């Protein structure tokens, strides 16, 4: 919660700074894609607030209304970050491939973990089943850990292209970096929170209670 309110505050703050070049989020996105030799990715505008995303399957980069038409440094940063994912996709950045590959596993794991643990407890504390549930939950943590390098790397790529291409002035680069760092913090917070949940599960249900 703290992380997400920090992101919103940081975004709002830097949303007040108009970029000196006057480019919009959409302009910045098109520029980065072109600079990276990416011609098969479409840029579209979607509704919502900070709903920006890149879909590697459909090759569509979606920018929220607040990002697409805005000339703020915050909007340019967010748009550029999503382009960073498109560049990762093009360059076959391996952590992104791993992340995509474990999405289904992580979804099944986080959905099935608690029912499995509960059944294990109800079956007069079946430790094997309980451990299986904990292992399933740890897949969710694995997913979030793999997400971290993917997110940091996307922002890094974005900033490099924008600053080298002169889209951002030297005063604007640190502003965009702050916006992107704040956004990355939410992923760190999510991973930390999942780790603590896993730790709680291990402390409560793990170990080797040999009641039988
Ligand atoms: Zn991202």
Q: What is the pLDDT of residue 106?
A: 95
Separation of CA 56 and ligand 1 centre (Å) = 12
Separation of CA 117 and ligand 1 centre (Å) = 32
Q: What is the pLDDT of residue 49?
A: 81
What CA–CA distances, in Å, run from 190 to 53, 135, 148, 163?
Answer: 18, 18, 10, 29
Separation of CA 155 and ligand 1 centre (Å) = 8
**Active site (catalytic) residues:** 82
SS3 content of the chain, % helix, strand, coil (to 5): 70, 5, 25
Q: What is the pLDDT of residue 210?
A: 53
Separation of CA 144 and ligand 1 centre (Å) = 12
Q: What is the pLDDT of residue 212?
A: 47
- Go through the chain and tell me how many residues it has: 212
Separation of CA 153 and ligand 1 centre (Å) = 9
Q: What is the pLDDT of residue 48?
A: 87
Residues 49 and 45: their CA atoms lie apart, in Å, by 11
Each residue's pLDDT tens digit in the chain (212 positions)? 888 888 889 989 999 999 999 999 999 999 999 999 999 999 999 998 889 999 999 999 999 998 999 999 999 999 999 999 999 999 999 999 999 999 999 999 999 999 999 999 999 999 999 999 999 999 999 999 999 999 999 999 989 999 898 899 999 999 999 999 999 999 999 999 999 999 999 999 987 655 54
Q: What is the pLDDT of residues 119-156, one digit of tens each?
A: 999 999 999 999 999 999 999 999 999 999 999 999 99
Structure tokens at 111: 């959905």
User: CA triplet 9, 55, 88: central angle to 5 degrees?
Assistant: 85
Separation of CA 85 and ligand 1 centre (Å) = 7
**What is the pTM (predicted TM-score) of this model?**
0.90
């Amino acid at each position: 919660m703290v992380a997400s309110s920090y992101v919103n505050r940081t975004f709002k703050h830097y949303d007040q700074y108009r970029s000196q070049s006057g480019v919009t989020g959409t302009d910045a996105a098109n520029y980065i894609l072109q600079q990276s030799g990416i011609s098969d990715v479409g840029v579209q505008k979607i509704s919502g607030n900070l709903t920006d995303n890149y879909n590697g399957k459909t090759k569509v980069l979606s920018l929220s209304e607040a990002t697409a038409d805005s000339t703020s440094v915050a909007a340019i940063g967010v748009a550029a970050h999503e382009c960073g994912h498109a560049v990762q996709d093009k360059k076959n950045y391996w952590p992104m491939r791993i992340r995509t590959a474990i999405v289904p596993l992580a979804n099944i794991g986080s959905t099935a973990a608690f029912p499995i643990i509960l059944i294990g407890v109800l079956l007069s504390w079946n430790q094997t089943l309980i451990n299986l549930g904990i292992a399933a939950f740890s897949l969710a943590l694995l997913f979030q850990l793999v997400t971290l390098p993917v997110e940091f790397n996307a922002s890094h790529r974005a900033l490099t292209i924008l600053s080298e291409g002169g889209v951002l002035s030297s005063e604007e680069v640190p502003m965009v970096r702050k916006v992107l760092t704040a956004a990355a913090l939410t992923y760190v917070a999510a991973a930390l929170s999942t780790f603590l949940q896993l730790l709680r599960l291990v402390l409560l249900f793990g170990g080797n209670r040999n009641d039988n």
